[in-house]
Amino acid sequence: MGFPLTGVKVLDMSRVLAGPFAGRMLADMGADVVKLEPPEGDITRIWGRKVGGVSGYFNQQNAGKRDVSVDLSEARGTELVKRLVAVADVLIENFRPDVMGRLGLDYATLAAINPRLIMLSISGFGAGNEDSRRAAYAPIVHAETGLVERQADLSSAFPADIACSVADTNASLHGLVALLSALYAREQTGQGDHIDLAMVDATLVTNDGMNYALDGLRRPLPNEVHETAGGHMMLAGEFRYIWKQLSEVCGVQDGLDDDATLEEKIETRRNAAHRFFTETCADRAAVIAALDKMNIAWGDVRTAADTTGLASVQARGTITEIDDRAGGTRPIPQSPYRFHNADARVQGGAPLLGEHNAEVLSDWLDMDVAEIDEWQDVLISRAADEH
């Protein structure tokens, strides 16, 4: 089948993470994704190690895309965007809800130009409410949706942001689902659509413990990391379940009388579990054998860099190598999609700013060299400087 989204044209006007990640996944599945940047470029172009003129963070979220840089402060800049929209299937943007309107690029205007256009707008709090104009990065949404408080409560620590921008990536992936659904619907109706996706909505619906909060209940104790003879391991199941398996399967006893208090039971049983995992189990192999015998799922507490040592990561090629534009290669996460018949994979590294100005105008708008030259007042290219 080849790539499932071959022929789909995507204009990606988004920046940082929530929008760009959705565009990256579309590119992995074969869409022609053109990132449209302002003259100053996406701020993530300076995040991480720069190789071949491209930073690591920008590379991960924008791999496989082409790039045009347009000055939208000029009227001709927005005119050029409208010409690109006229032939696009999808537009992705993650400005605050009123920005596209102020640019003259709101959905009503663009849909009049291209009724088949599917527009994904990702914002922190969605359009049309009192929070709409608030600046919203992932940490802000984490705080507002209870994730920061939940982590602080469970860890008995001062509130701090969680270590992954899940509000961004959840919004991105929910946006991707909505886009693909709209593309399918368009095949039936011929009509495009506008998706108003709020990070706060995506975060709440993806919170598997939200039901406890809505029902006024305290969430059960979490899975915990245990010290073992094989290093720190995350064990699946709250401690009551772990203790039940230890006592029934491995014969670990607490030695307590029936009249022991709850506090005494907890402390004694935790100490007994610790001795079992660190002393009775003399080494890593013994720990794993005991956990497998108890049917307790376990995982090593690794650094992100150490994940490359996982057998599954190595076998599946989860981290792959791409041309680094500097005479070598650099690692990047591979597409997570594994189709039986179709293909999906990272299409190459991320583009330099304005690298494909002429190429995209030629491919999408059939402009010749002379016509492209007429747009040089709004086209920006720093490809040579960055490289």
DSSP 282-329: -SHHHHHHHHHHTT--EEE---GGGGGG-HHHHHHT-EEEEE-SSSSE
193: annotated active-site residue: no
Q: Quote the DSSP letter at residue 219.
A: P
pLDDT per residue as tens digits for the range 285-325 = 999 999 999 999 999 999 999 999 899 999 999 999 999 99
Q: For residue 63, what are its two tokens?
A: 């791999």
Q: Which of 60, 88, 84 is nearest to 70 (CA)?
A: 84
Which residue segments constitute the domains of the chain, with CATH numbers given? 9-209+318-386 (3.40.50.10540), 224-304 (no CATH)
Residue 262 has pLDDT above 60, yes or no: yes
pLDDT per residue as tens digits for the range 90-117 = 999 999 999 999 999 999 999 999 999 9
- Of the candidates 12, 32, 168, 254, the residue annotated as catalytic is 168
Q: Could you tell me where the beta strands, DSSP code E, fall in the chain? A: 9-12, 32-37, 50-51, 54-55, 66-69, 90-93, 118-123, 193-198, 224-228, 231-235, 298-300, 319-323, 329-333
Distances (CA, A) of 21 to 13, 84, 162, 181, 367: 12, 21, 19, 18, 29
Helix (H, G, I), strand (E, B) or coil at 236: coil
**What is the pLDDT at residue 383?**
59
pTM for the model: 0.91
Q: Which residues pair with 122 in a beta bridge?
A: 197
pLDDT per residue as tens digits for the range 127-180 = 999 989 998 899 999 999 999 998 898 888 999 999 899 999 999 999 999 999
Buried b (16+ CB within 10 A) or exposed e, 74-85: eeebbebbbebb
Q: For residue 249, what are its two tokens?
A: 């399967």
Q: For residue 274, what are its two tokens?
A: 């610790």
pLDDT per residue as tens digits for the range 197-237 = 999 999 999 998 899 889 888 877 778 999 999 999 999 99
pLDDT per residue as tens digits for the range 39-65 = 999 999 999 999 999 999 999 999 999
Percent over 90 (pLDDT), the chain: 87
Mean pLDDT of the chain: 94
